[in-house]
Structure 1
Amino acid sequence: MKKEKIAISVDAPLLEIVDSKIDGSILRSRSQAIDYFLRKGLREESVSTAVILLKGSHQQHAFSPVKGRPLLELQLEFFRKNGITSVLIITQHTRTSGQLLDLASRQPIATEILEIEAKGNAKALLSARDRLRGGFVVMSGDTYNNFDLQKMEKKHAQLNAMATMGLMTRADTSQYGTAILDGDYIVDFQEKPRQSPTTIVNAGMYLFKPEIFELFSGAESLER
């Protein structure tokens, strides 16, 4: 692979740590050490797994045409373009489950369907705990927007957050969950209020660390 020469400024204490990792065997030079830890850090921060939470009663949404294509096809394309390599769809068995499997299997991204009976999106996600070893992104099954997932990942990493909810603004909030913010943090959340003091709403996109499952005991809703 072709390498490019670059000039960078590094704090002296940080450079000392890098130099201390040079062992003359695996890491033989400063540039090799920087390359190694940069790659390692990028792998750890990047998210490669996504979950789509699709209620069985809403399964028809997966086939709804958006811009002339099924919604699920656009969702999977969105994930693939944002570096996601595997997707898990959590749903329930319905008469359209076969169609869902057929549509998912024809997309150029590894997709698995997990059929589970669970009350609430938190319990549905908890059912997939053993399949989610690293950080992961979650999308509501009826969601489609041109969300900047990479920007969201960057903010998630900067804050070292256990959970990050994607937000957007809507003049009419009656069909959305609304969020009250204090800086970068959500301090109150209401699901589809008749009246809301804010236009900030849930975009149906979440980023989680795997440690989030430790907080799921008894919870039914991801938002609460």
Structure 2
Amino acid sequence: MLPAATRPILEHVFDQLIDAGIAEIVVVGYRRDRVQSHFGPTYRNVQFTYVTQEHQFGTGDALLTVESAVDGTYLAINGDQIVGSRLIRETIDGHEHDAAATLALLQRTDIGEYGSVTVDDGEIMSIVENPSDWRDYYINAGVYVLEPTAFDAVRAAESRNGEHLLVDGLSELVDSGRRV
């Protein structure tokens, strides 16, 4: 609910999702009551389903919280960053039926402290949080098309300091030989 250009960041995120053709949105988050009181049950004629994440135990925990609210292939997006509807649509359109996940990636020369991946022929080979070497990386843009197997991968990934992270679940998929 932090403001960006006089509107909550989430409002910008929801606008981009709707502009990309998303017709149903599941909202998860700690203290989701603030979001729900601002937006209500719909926004721009798109139905919202709210689920409560009781404690903030990481992005993987947030993903697991929505498991009962989604069916089949689904889109997950970080709610604290604004990405364009074109990138969202391209990620959805680029998802292939035999892939466990599809990630939106950005090619940048300065990756800073972003989560990054190495890619070979369109396949993710490794996921590296805050890389410190000089390999060529793509930045993880925080837009994911996921198959239901992602839930099991997040559960299977080892937690870090009591947190389950989505990127660890994605690494689990890569390490097990699944297409990402």
Q: What CA distance in whole angstroms lies between the structure 2 residues aligned with 1:104 and 1:192?
A: 34
Query: What SS does the corresponding residue of 1:197 show, helix, strand or coil?
Result: coil
1:103 aligns with 2:38: yes
Q: TM-score, normalised by structure 1?
A: 0.63
Q: Work out whether residues 73 and 103 of structure 1, in 8 Å CA contact, stay in contact via their aligned partners in 2.
A: no
Report if aligned partners of 1:139, 1:204 keep a CA contact under 8 Å in 2: yes
Alpha-carbon deviations, 1:1-37, whole Å to 9, x = none?
Answer: xxxxxxxxxxxxxxxxxxxxxxxxxxxxxxxxxxxxx
Deviations 1:45-90 (A, max 9, x none): xxxxxxxxxxxxxxxxx33214x43211111111112221111122
Runs of 4+ with deviation above 3 angstroms: none
User: Larger C-alpha radius of gyration, 1 or 2?
Assistant: 1
Counting matched residue pairs gives 158
Identical-residue share of aligned pairs (%): 22
For residues 164-187 of structure 1, the C-alpha deviation after alignment (integer angstroms, 9 at most, x for no partner) is 111012332123101111111111
2:140 is matched with which residue? 202
**Superposition CA RMSD, Å:** 2.1
Match of 1:48 in 2: none
Aligned mate of 1:153, from 77, 92, 96: 92
The correspondence for 2:106, drawn from 158, 168, 174, is 168
The letter of the residue matching 1:152 is T
Q: Gaps (5+ residues) in structure 1?
A: 1-61
For 1:114, what is the secondary structure of its paired residue? strand
Provide TM-score, normalisation by structure 2: 0.76
Deviation of 1:115 after TM superposition, in Å, equals 2.1
Contact 2:115 2:129 in 1 (8 A): yes
Is the partner of 2:166 in helix, strand or coil? coil
Inter-CA distance 196–143: structure 2 relative to 1 (3 Å threshold)? farther
Give the drift of 1:113. 2.7
